[in-house]
């Protein structure tokens, strides 16, 4: 048992958003094409759960924010990916990708509960 030091990068507290790697894996083809995808993220400035349409990239580009990926082992990748939010969307939009994630919408994906509360 150890301390999870992945909550911080070497520059200090993480900023931007956090996402479960399941969303990246489930929509890999669309992400690679540069197409917008529907994802559930945690806004690290407010700790709020958000469902949004966004463009995700592994490389930094102008207008993109940090996107920290949480693995299925609850570790945070040391280097961020990047996200450009387009719009927040209704929970029903998330239903469209749940089959790809192979989980129920009621199953917590990240942060302990479907409502995003810890």
Residues pairing with 49 in the sheet? 42
The answer as to whether 8 is a domain residue is: no
- Give the chain's domain count: 1
The answer as to whether 108 is a domain residue is: no
The answer as to whether 81 is a domain residue is: yes
Q: What pTM does this model have? A: 0.73
| Of residues 38, 25, 47, 17, the one with CA closest to residue 118 | 47
The answer as to whether 73 is a domain residue is: yes
CB 52 within 8 A of CB 89: yes
The alpha helices in the chain, defined as continuous H runs, are 21-26, 28-33, 91-101
Helix (H) or strand (E) holding 78: none
Which residue did the predictor score with more confidence, 47 or 83? 83
Question: Taking all residues of the chain, what is their mean pLDDT, rounded to a whole number?
Answer: 79
The answer as to whether 107 is a domain residue is: no
- State whether residue 103 is helix, strand or coil: coil
The domain of 23 spans 13-101
């Amino acid at each position: 048992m150890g301390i999870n030091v992945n909550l911080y990068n070497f520059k200090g507290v993480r900023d931007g958003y956090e996402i479960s790697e399941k969303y990246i894996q489930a929509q890999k083809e669309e992400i690679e094409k540069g197409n917008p995808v529907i994802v559930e993220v945690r806004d690290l400035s407010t700790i709020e759960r958000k469902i949004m349409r966004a463009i995700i990239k592994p490389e930094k580009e102008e207008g993109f924010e940090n996107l920290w990926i949480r693995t299925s082992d609850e570790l945070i990748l040391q280097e961020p990916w990047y996200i450009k939010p387009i719009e927040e969307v209704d929970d029903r939009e998330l239903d469209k990708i749940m089959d790809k994630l192979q989980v129920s919408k009621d199953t917590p994906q990240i942060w302990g509960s479907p409502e995003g509360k810890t």
